[in-house]
Structure 1
């Protein structure tokens, strides 16, 4: 089941990267950072290394679906990441995605992206199995 979740997460990230490229092209590079560049910055800032327990880990909501809610979640280590900067970039990216969806009249299936569990495994924060709780 873990491999399936990893595959789904990687597939979601591939779609997300494709969408950020579209956003970058649609914006014509007029912003200080394209959505693709901002996403790359978020990936760099979200260190997953250095946890000692699962409480040292966090999940950052990524993007925005047309019906609302995040497109994905990214695990990070609270001890090795600048959490305030990460959350600020995450909000900025969310706003870029909202604007893109609005400008391009994007529609979606309105499925909720389940928030995964995050665990510290071998000193690394890892998003795993879907959380079955209703958010």
Structure 2
């Protein structure tokens, strides 16, 4: 009787371990997708040199687990802004869903929106209040 019980116990334990590995793999894949989206957003924002701050805008980026944006990002207004904002929205929603799915918590500190943008070395730099 003990060998049969031991056999079934090892099967159940093996299945539980497989579930944990699958869940871990799913989570790691989702984290990697978020990293890639963030990199794509940053690269797109940095693809245009900042020479006139009046041609740039600011948008919230990401979602903290307890609400609000993780940060803000500057982007050039114009032809690429619609695609850029769609990508930011997709990233923010994906991060919000990830936080909810995995029950994440965050520091819940409010991230102040920059008051403006200035251009330094062809890069958009935030003016903070």
**Gap runs ≥5 in structure 1:** 1-23
2:96 & 2:103 partners in 1: Cα distance?
A: 10
Larger Rg: 2
Would you say how many aligned residue pairs link Structure 1 and Structure 2?
Answer: 103
1:49 & 1:88 partners in 2: Cα distance?
A: 21
What is residue 121 of structure 1 aligned with on the other side?
A: 119
What is residue 49 of structure 1 aligned with on the other side?
A: 49
> Is the alpha carbon distance of 1:27 and 1:99 closer, same or farther for their aligned partners in structure 2, counting shifts above 3 Å?
farther
What is residue 19 of structure 1 aligned with on the other side?
A: none
**RMSD of aligned residue pairs (Cα, Å):** 2.6
What is residue 57 of structure 2 aligned with on the other side?
A: 58
Query: Is the contact between residue 57 and residue 120 of structure 1 (CA under 8 Å) also seen in structure 2?
Result: no
Secondary structure (helix, strand or coil) at the match of 1:49 reads: coil
Deviations 1:46-91 (A, max 9, x none): 1351432x32111121110112111011122225x61101100000
What is residue 104 of structure 1 aligned with on the other side?
A: 102
1:37 & 1:109 partners in 2: Cα distance?
A: 24
Q: Does 1:86 align with 2:84?
A: yes
1:124 & 1:118 partners in 2: Cα distance?
A: 13
Runs of 4+ in structure 1 over 6 Å off: none
TM-score (normalised: structure 2): 0.67
TM-score (normalised: structure 1): 0.64
Secondary structure (helix, strand or coil) at the match of 1:69 reads: coil
Query: Is the contact between residue 57 and residue 118 of structure 1 (CA under 8 Å) also seen in structure 2?
Result: no
**Gap runs ≥5 in structure 2:** 1-24
Secondary structure (helix, strand or coil) at the match of 1:38 reads: helix
Secondary structure (helix, strand or coil) at the match of 2:118 reads: strand
